[in-house]
Amino acid sequence: MLERISNVLTQRTHGTVMKIHMHHIAHNLQVYRSMLQPGVKMMVMVKAFSYGSGTAEIANLLAFNRVDYLAVAYADEGVELRRNGVHLPIMVMNPEPETFAQMLQYKLEPEIYNFRILQLFVAFLKNENYNDSPISIHIKLDTGMHRLGFMPDDIPQLVKNILQQKQLHITSVFSHLAAADEMQQDAFTLQQITVFKSACDVLEKQMGYAPMRHILNSPGISKFPEAQMDMVRLGIGLYGDDPAKHVSEKLLFTSSIETTVTQIKNINAGESIGYGRSVIAEKNMRIATLNIGYADGFRRSLGNGVAKVWINNNLYSVVGRVCMDMIMVDITGAKNIAEGDVAEIFGEHISLQQFSEWMQTIPYEVLTGISQRVKRIYLQE
């Protein structure tokens, strides 16, 4: 009851909020966990503010649900997690030399993707006179994405370099699939998996021990179960998006954006609406102004009828240009809308996938593009 009261008061104070349904996230985690072969571990991506949902809050939920690893993009994200009491192992995917000291202090594990980063990290440890237990590192291999990672031909030299550094221990070797979510690219994905397995075999033989292997992302978990190996990496699937219908049908939406109707007014035929007078009313209209704009993540491209909002059990089209802090919607003919009413931007009635299509982008960009001024509210049943 207290949580519900607090939630209502928060909505009255902040015109636009993002509700995070924690029990839905836990449900989606279990959906993917149920697909894993026995003994397969799970790493969950919490980079980019946990896809806009709040890094520490999501990480603590994941820790409670006993995931094995977390991954962040940059060291400062990992530091924030440590300061918020998260003790799970954390891989940093873009370790920067100026953050090596923080990574050591907060026990964050770097991804090593080329010889330059390896050499800089080794030099840092020598400068610090580091003699404690070996530091866990994660080796990234490039099997076809051609973004970051050692090429398979680099492995002999890589192994030689690492064997000279007793303070380093390869905890995992991994790669990134370029098109696991695109069926027409399955042959290429299988080729990546084959290249990865061969490269890991070479590295393991030369190192003399077997680091964990992982290559599957969210869509790959169900699509290529034979390649789950030692660990999988769950990302956007946690938040309810998967290209496979048999998986997406089991997932729940995890985020909803709600705003309020701040003013309602009648517009006469011939009058204009919004910036640039891009809309001239052909007939008398009724317009509702909502407290959300492009500064919140509601893109300008969604104006002039592209997007719709959900108010009191009906959809209404955005009319005119999207403003920085507001949008206008056409509610002509609606009898049950009043100032102060709640409008859903996406969530239970407008799916994240639908909203992404209106924006001509992907759910990743929608979620990570929600402004920090949009207050996050965490709901738990």
Is 47 one of the catalytic residues?
yes
Nearest 5 degrees, angle CA 43-CA 181-CA 368?
60
Q: List the catalytic residue out of 19, 47, 250, 308.
A: 47
Distance CA 170, CA 207 (A): 9
List the one residue out of 73, 126, 71 whose CA is nearest residue 104.
126
Q: Has 275 been annotated as catalytic?
A: yes
Catalytic one of 107, 160, 205, 275: 275
**What are the catalytic residues?**
47, 275
